């Protein structure tokens, strides 16, 4: 079974090797990135000892949705869904540490436990007592980790192609072995080599527009993000998820693109075996990022799930 991190490792390593050591790629200054990707300076919040980029929209008295993106992405990945959801829900999106405009974590801690702590602190700072937490890929792994650790904060749980089970090269109890050549990514990252690898996240590679590629590329070049991505890979130590998943009492929606080339839809069976309150919906002809690639189609089962009264626990 493959994980998103494994795919990203291979893709970036191929990009670095192909480019060679001569194509130096410097960081982009925040002064260049913020006019394109920051709506308001007020979207920077001091949370748990670091500055987070957070977008908080929709009615303040509505049920809350917390959205967690995947590896290499940012809060902007949720924009197609957010435009619809924020009419009914309070929608809170954030750039996880080391991604987007949040920048590197001051303590250089990118563990799932630390990510869970940051999410808890953000909810407390925003006065949110309970929320439906929605996570994609690595964000899905953080979401189910959080749901198990803080069941009192969870209304419902939505996992979109979540990461977390072992696969070749990603064994339980061992830190991820990051190839030495991958460290060159901090200095060399040509856009032309990133493009075909990013396109693999979509069932239809032609879906990836120039604007979409520009956004992913620009934010990967935000100050310190490349080093933070490598650190997150190195700090990823998977533990057997079965007991954690079994402990989750929240109603859960598993949403999976049937053409997911990063975490195959067959992996859904691993989750369904362990999660006693889960419903699986697969999406024909859609890849790893259904909320980007087919927002009008993928949002329908989400809306149905959210509208259903929560079962008593």
Rounded average pLDDT over 226-238:
91
Strands lying side by side in the sheet with 90-94: 44-47, 50-57, 90-94, 64-68, 131-136, 154-160, 252-257, 278-283
Instruction: Quick: pLDDT tens for 265-301.
Output: 999 999 999 999 999 999 999 999 999 999 999 999 9
β 278-283/50-57 pair status: unpaired
Residue 87 has pLDDT above 80, yes or no: yes
Average pLDDT over the chain, rounded to an integer: 91
Domains and CATH numbers, the chain: 4-306 (3.40.50.1820)
pLDDT of 1 over the 80 cut: no
Nearest to 177 by CA among 185, 168, 165, 186: 168
Give 177-230 pLDDT, tens digit per residue.
777 767 777 788 888 878 888 888 999 988 999 999 999 999 999 999 999 999
pTM, 2 dp: 0.91
pLDDT at position 19 is 46
* The predicted structure's pLDDT at residue 90: 98
Query: Is residue 141 pLDDT above 70, yes or no?
Result: yes
Res 12 pLDDT > 70: no
pLDDT at 7 over 60: no
Residues whose CB falls within 8 Å of the CB of residue 257, separated by 6 or more in sequence, listed in order: 161, 203, 265, 282, 283, 286, 287, 288, 289, 290, 293
Where does residue 59 fall: left (phi above 0), alpha (psi -120 to 50 degrees), or beta otherwise?
beta
């Amino acid at each position: 079974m493959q994980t998103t991190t494994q795919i990203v490792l291979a893709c970036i390593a191929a990009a670095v090797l192909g480019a060679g050591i001569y194509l130096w790629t410097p960081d982009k200054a925040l002064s260049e990135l913020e006019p394109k990707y920051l709506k308001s300076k007020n979207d920077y919040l001091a949370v748990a000892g670091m500055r987070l980029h957070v977008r908080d929209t929709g009615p303040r008295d509505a049920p809350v949705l917390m959205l967690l993106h995947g590896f290499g992405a940012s809060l902007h990945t949720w924009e197609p869904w957010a435009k619809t959801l924020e009419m009914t829900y309070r929608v809170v999106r954030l750039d996880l540490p080391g991604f987007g405009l949040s920048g590197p974590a001051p303590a250089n801690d990118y563990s799932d436990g630390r990510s869970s702590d940051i999410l808890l602190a953000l909810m407390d700072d925003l006065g949110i007592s309970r929320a439906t937490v929605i996570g994609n890929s690595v964000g899905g792994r953080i979401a189910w980790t959080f749901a198990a650790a803080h069941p009192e904060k969870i209304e419902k749980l939505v996992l979109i192609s979540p990461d977390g089970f072992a696969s070749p090269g990603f064994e339980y109890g061992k830190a991820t072995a990051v190839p030495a050549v991958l460290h060159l990514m901090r200095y060399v990252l040509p856009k032309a080599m990133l493009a075909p690898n990013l396109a693999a996240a979509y069932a239809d590679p032609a879906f990836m527009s120039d604007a979409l590629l520009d956004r992913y590329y620009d934010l990967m070049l935000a100050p310190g993000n490349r080093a933070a991505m490598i650190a997150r890979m190195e700090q990823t130590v998977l533990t057997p998820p079965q007991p954690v998943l079994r402990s989750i009492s929240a109603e859960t929606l598993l949403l999976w693109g049937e053409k997911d080339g990063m975490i195959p839809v067959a992996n859904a069976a691993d989750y369904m075996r362990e999660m006693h309150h889960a419903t699986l919906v697969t999406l024909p002809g859609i890849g790893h990022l259904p909320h980007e690639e087919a927002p009008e189609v993928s949002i329908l089962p989400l809306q149905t799930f959210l509208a259903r009264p929560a079962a008593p626990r």
